[in-house]
Amino acid sequence: MNLANIEDVIAVLDDMRSENIIQKFAIGGAFAATLHNEPISTIDPDIFFLLAEKSDNLILSLDAVYEYAGKHNFSFDHEFINIHGWLVQFVEASHNPLWIEAIEEAQSVMVGEKKIFVIDKEHLAAMWIFAGRAKDYQKIAMFWEAGILDQEKLFDILERHNLLSKWNQQKWRFIDGE
């Protein structure tokens, strides 16, 4: 496994977009946390995406993605697709306004020779508050401790997406002294 593989994964994602399988997409989760802050172990890059073809059925809506995977000989298991040795998890985002905004405002990052869009730190923190698992709070703690969050931007996102009260209830988990 070397870095070339992740560039190959990015090339596949770009191809999926150019073939109109997915529309906009951005990396989220722990993989994005690694790019913004410091490396943390995670199994899969999470790809938050919007489908080119809109569908109300979330299960059927991934058909185009699976079809693409099959056509290109990538094995898949539920939401994971094995792309060049990486288990890529595809998360369809159109039903969640916070996720849509996170994709729309994602920042471009160069990985080697390839450009990839990565969800920004403040939207990631809001998404982790929304998800509310222990591992999500750990990642917020890492960002907070590193002092890399733009607090004005973060609290604006939290307020607009009705997450401010959850932040205030849960902040003792990830901010020392709260």
Partner 1 sequence: MENEDLQTAAVADLTERKKVSRQYLRALSPAEKIAKLIQLQEQYYQMLKIREENGGRPIPEKWRKWHRARYENSTNK
Q: Which residues here bind partner 1, judged by CB under 8 A?
A: 1-3, 6, 31, 34-35, 37-44, 69-70, 73-77, 80, 82-87, 109-112, 146
Query: What minimum distance in Å lies between the beta carbon of 48 and partner 1?
Result: 18
Of 68 and 167, CB closest to partner 1: 68
Of 49 and 68, CB closest to partner 1: 68
Query: What minimum distance in Å lies between the beta carbon of 160 and partner 1?
Result: 29
Of 49 and 86, CB closest to partner 1: 86
Of 30 and 158, CB closest to partner 1: 30
Query: What minimum distance in Å lies between the beta carbon of 115 and partner 1?
Result: 11
Q: Which two tokens stand for residue 99?
A: 């996720």
Q: Which residues contact 49 (CB under 8 A, 6 or more apart)?
A: 22, 23, 24, 25, 26, 90, 91, 92, 93, 103
Query: What minimum distance in Å lies between the beta carbon of 38 and partner 1?
Result: 4
Q: How far apart are CA 73 and CA 143, in angstroms?
A: 38
Q: Three-state DSSP class for 158? A: helix
Q: How far apart are CA 110 and CA 103, in angstroms?
A: 17
Query: What minimum distance in Å lies between the beta carbon of 109 and partner 1?
Result: 5
Q: How far apart are CA 97 and CA 86, in angstroms?
A: 28
Q: Which two tokens stand for residue 121?
A: 């730190």
Of 119 and 163, CB closest to partner 1: 119
By CB neighbour count within 10 A (0-12 exposed, 13-18 middle, 19+ buried), where does 52 fall?
Answer: middle
